[in-house]
């Protein structure tokens, strides 16, 4: 039987389809441009190869096209007669995920990997910040992600994709030096891995290497197609660093060209969360943000995510609605939060409402309570700095400057001295 790059048997007798499949999987794992087309080429070469359709479904799912994902997975299921047990499990997992059954899907991932640890497409569902562990809403999810990637180490060795994921889990649990050497190894093997460049950027951020970081990432982005999945989010990273360096012109340039709604082809989850985040961090740093910009992102949130569902999306939507003055949309999130982190979503949404109304003490109390376990809300440490800095602002507005400085020194020591909040 033919095998994929990870030595898993695959049910196609066409060597060409196999080669195309290996290429398509690599494109998905590295966040390369044209991954949808790559899986379509597999299906065109061997229309009966179930995993080709499953991969297409997964590619549609990660780029936010759920109807197309469901259709492709339906096709994969219909072609399941005679495929291996691993392939059937692989298809079943993607099908669970596209139907929104994340906790059940994660259970299936763990069981599946116990017998098929080198099914990288399945491992990928849970190995990164935007994955089943990252968005679980459960306490201890950063440690769990490190435990997850660590458990796969013996099976992946020097694989560039695996190393990039392992490095991210090290970075997010504070092991920055170790993460740095692991990502260097990964990028030496595959320098065009956009997820690797992303992890490299997070490591620079966590090390406080602003100037090195921004020059690295700007350089890396030069050869990265703007239609690819990570282009918008990597542009957000550049904008964030530009803001930190006081270069607001460059920050706005990046936001307008590659982050905000209509400027990027990235997944809607990134468009909303990155735009809301950079606008508010700009305000915190002392920049004036016109209300029209808030209305634009608030409208986008209402259009793309009309109902609460995922805490990471919902709290950014709440921020946008609060700043845009859309009380109805904000109330919808406060009154009906969803998921395992719903308790925190409600509090953060109320806090942003209080901030918009300049009720700093109320916002301080709500945010203080959330910060005990804000990782449950989802997102990287760099993304959750939005919440850290919002709390600092509440303290500063009440004249509690020393408390704000102490809090930053305890919680985010690497950012002491950076002008992240005006007046600090
Ligand atoms: Fe990031």
Q: Which residues make Cβ contacts (< 8 Å) with residue 27, sequence separation at least 6?
A: 33, 34, 35, 38
pLDDT band at 67 (very low <50, low <70, confident <90, very high): very high
> What is the 382 CA–ligand 1 centroid distance (Å)?
7
> Given a cut of 90, is residue 136 above it in pLDDT?
yes
> What is the 233 CA–ligand 1 centroid distance (Å)?
6
> What is the 306 CA–ligand 1 centroid distance (Å)?
24
Q: At what angle do helices 342-356 and 381-397 cross, to 10 degrees?
A: 40
> What is the 379 CA–ligand 1 centroid distance (Å)?
8
The alpha carbon of 255 is separated from its chain's Cα centroid by a whole number of angstroms, namely: 18
The pLDDT value recorded for residue 124 is: 98
> What is the 357 CA–ligand 1 centroid distance (Å)?
30
> What is the 338 CA–ligand 1 centroid distance (Å)?
24
> Given a cut of 90, is residue 296 above it in pLDDT?
yes
> What is the 164 CA–ligand 1 centroid distance (Å)?
13
> Given a cut of 90, is residue 419 above it in pLDDT?
no
> What is the 165 CA–ligand 1 centroid distance (Å)?
13
> What is the 45 CA–ligand 1 centroid distance (Å)?
36
> What is the 97 CA–ligand 1 centroid distance (Å)?
23
The closest of 274, 278, 324 to 302, measured between CA atoms, is 324
> Given a cut of 90, is residue 210 above it in pLDDT?
yes
The pLDDT value recorded for residue 231 is: 97
Q: Measure Cα distances from 43 to 170, 227, 356 in Å.
A: 37, 22, 51
pTM: 0.96
> What is the 202 CA–ligand 1 centroid distance (Å)?
6
Is 78 buried (19+), middle (13-18) or exposed (0-12) by CB count in 10 A? exposed
> What is the 244 CA–ligand 1 centroid distance (Å)?
15
Q: What is the mean pLDDT of the chain?
A: 97
Specify the 3-state DSSP secondary structure of 259: coil
340/376 Cα distance (integer angstroms): 8
251/280 Cα distance (integer angstroms): 13
Q: Could you report the per-residue pLDDT of 14-29, keeping only the tens digit for each?
A: 999 999 999 999 999 9
> Given a cut of 90, is residue 111 above it in pLDDT?
yes
96/109 Cα distance (integer angstroms): 10
> What is the 236 CA–ligand 1 centroid distance (Å)?
8
Fold that domain 15-125 belongs to in CATH: 1.25.40
> Given a cut of 90, is residue 95 above it in pLDDT?
yes
The closest of 184, 156, 180 to 170, measured between CA atoms, is 180
């Amino acid at each position: 039987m033919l095998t994929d790059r990870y030595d898993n048997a695959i049910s196609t007798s066409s060597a060409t389809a196999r080669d195309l499949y290996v290429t398509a999987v690599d494109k998905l794992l590295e966040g390369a441009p044209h991954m949808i087309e790559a899986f379509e080429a597999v299906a065109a070469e061997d229309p009966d190869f179930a995993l080709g359709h499953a991969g297409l479904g997964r590619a549609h799912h990660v780029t936010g096209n759920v109807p197309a994902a469901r259709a492709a997975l339906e096709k994969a299921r219909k072609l399941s007669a005679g495929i291996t047990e691993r392939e059937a499990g692989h298809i079943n997992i993607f099908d669970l995920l596209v139907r929104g059954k994340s906790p059940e899907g994660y259970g299936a991932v763990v069981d599946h990997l116990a017998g098929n640890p080198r099914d990288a497409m399945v491992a990928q569902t849970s190995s990164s910040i935007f994955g089943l562990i990252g968005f679980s809403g459960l306490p201890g999810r950063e440690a769990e992600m490190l435990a997850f990637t660590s458990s796969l180490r013996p099976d992946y060795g020097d694989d560039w994709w695996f190393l990039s994921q392992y490095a991210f889990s090290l970075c997010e649990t504070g092991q920055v030096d170790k993460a740095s050497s692991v990502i260097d190894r990964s990028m030496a093997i595959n320098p065009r891995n956009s997820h690797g460049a992303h992890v490299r950027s997070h490591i620079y951020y966590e090390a406080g290497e602003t100037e090195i970081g921004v020059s690295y990432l700007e350089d890396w982005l030069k050869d990265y197609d703007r239609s690819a999945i990570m282009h918008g989010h990597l542009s957000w990273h550049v904008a964030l660093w530009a803001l930190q360096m006081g270069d607001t012109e460059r920050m706005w340039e990046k936001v307008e060209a590659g982050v905000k709604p209509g400027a990027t082809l990235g997944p809607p989850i990134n468009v909303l969360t990155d735009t809301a985040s950079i606008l508010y961090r700009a305000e915190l740093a002392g920049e004036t943000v016109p209300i029209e910009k808030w209305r634009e992102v608030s409208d986008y949130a209402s259009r793309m995510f009309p109902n609460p569902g995922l805490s990471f999306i919902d709290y950014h939507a709440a921020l946008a609605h609060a700043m845009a003055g859309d009380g109805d949309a904000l109330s919808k999130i406060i009154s009906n939060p969803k998921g395992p982190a719903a308790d925190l979503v409600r509090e953060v949404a109320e806090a942003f409402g209080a901030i918009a109304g300049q009720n700093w003490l109320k916002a301080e109390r709500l945010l203080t309570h959330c910060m005990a376990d804000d990782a449950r809300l989802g997102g990287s440490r760099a993304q959750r700095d939005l919440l850290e800095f919002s709390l600092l602002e509440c303290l500063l507005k009440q004249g509690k400057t020393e408390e704000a400085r102490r809090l930053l020194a305890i919680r985010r020591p690497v950012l002491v001295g950076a002008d992240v909040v005006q007046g600090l």
